[in-house]
Amino acid sequence: METKKVIIYALIALVLSTVVFGGILYFTIFRTPDEMPAEVKVYEYNLGGFSTNLSTVRSYFKGEMVIETTEKALLSVFVEKNAELRDQIIKVFIGKESVDILDPDGQQQLREELIRVISNVTKSDKITNLYFVDYIIQ
């Protein structure tokens, strides 16, 4: 009788471990996602070069920026509001000190602030990124 119980328990353990292992294998390796994420199309607009003083004496910023958006219609808005965009961006730079925007954290904070300013001017939340093509602080 003891031998039969051991064999039964061994078979039950084998079946359970096979089910668990098979489930893990199915959900991690063999299963493909039903929906492949669609690649989001992005558009870029070059704002051109900027050269402006910073709030500290004898410090200035010189650089070039590119706006990235997911909405193609915004490209024409950027062209229409180019002067206002440039003015608002220069105001942000004039309010900054060179020590605030020299390190990577400061540059990231500046990038986020500029994205907010651009979003406010264009009245859109489709601005995905802002790239500094050139970035010189003296």
| pLDDT score of 32 | 67
Q: Would you say 126 and 69 are in contact if contact means Cβ atoms under 8 Å apart?
A: yes
Q: Which residues of 60-76 are buried (b: 16+ CB within 10 A; e: fewer)?
A: bbebbbebebebeebee
Residue the block writes with tokens 């500094």: 132
Residue ranges of the chain whose pLDDT lies below 50: none
The pTM of the full predicted model, rounded to 2 decimals, is: 0.70
Q: In whole angstroms, what is the distance from residue 101 CA to residue 108 CA?
A: 8
> Which tens digit of pLDDT belongs to each residue from 55-76?
877 888 899 999 999 999 999 9
* Cβ neighbours of residue 65 closer than 8 Å, sequence gap 6 or more: 46, 47, 48, 50, 89, 114, 130, 131, 132, 133
The CATH class of 43-137 is: alpha beta
**Token digits of residue 30:** 């063999």
| pLDDT score of 7 | 87
| pLDDT score of 79 | 93
